Structure 1
Amino acid sequence: MSLFPTEMESERLRYERLHPDEFDVDELYEYVHAGAPGIDEITKYVTWDSHQHPKESFDWVEHCGEQFDDGVAATYALRPTEGDRAGELAGFAGIHPDWDRRLAVFGAWLRKPFWGRGYSGERAARMLEFAFDRLDLEMVAVAHDPDNEQSRRAIEKYVERFGGRKEGRIRNDIVIDDEPRDSIRYSISRAEWERNRD
Structure 2
Amino acid sequence: MFPETIETDRLRLEQLTMEHLFELYDHTSVDAPAIDEITQYVTWSPNRSLKETRSFIEEQETQWEKGEEATYVVYPREEEDNAGEFGGCTGLSIDWSRRTGQLGFWLRKPLWGRGYSHERATALIALAFDRLDLDLVTVNHHPDNEQSARAIQKYVEAHGGRRDGYLRNHLVYQDGTVADEVRYSIAREEYDANKS
Q: TM-score under structure 2 normalisation? A: 0.96
- Residue 141 of structure 2 corresponds to 144
* Deviations 1:148-175, CA, capped at 9 Å, x for gaps: 1111010011111111010001111112
Deviation at 1:132, TM superposition (A): 0.3
- Residue 32 of structure 2 corresponds to 36
- Residue 130 of structure 1 corresponds to 127
In structure 2, distance between residues paired with 1:158 and 1:24: 28
C-alpha RMSD over aligned residues: 1.0
Deviation at 1:178, TM superposition (A): 3.8
Matches within 5 A, 1:1-198: 3-20=1-18, 23-81=19-77, 82-176=79-173, 178-198=176-196
Q: TM-score under structure 1 normalisation? A: 0.95
In structure 1, distance between residues paired with 2:176 and 2:59: 21
**What amino acid is aligned across from residue 130 of structure 1 in structure 2?**
L
Give the percent of matched residue pairs that are identical in Structure 1 and Structure 2.
49
Point out the more displaced range, 176-185 or 58-67. 176-185
* Deviations 1:49-98, CA, capped at 9 Å, x for gaps: 00111111111111111111111111000111122211111111110111
**What amino acid is aligned across from residue 32 of structure 2 in structure 1?**
A
Point out the more displaced range, 146-155 or 188-197. 188-197
Q: After the TM superposition, which parts of structure 1 deviate over 6 Å for at least 4 consecutive aligned residues?
A: none
**What amino acid is aligned across from residue 16 of structure 1 in structure 2?**
E
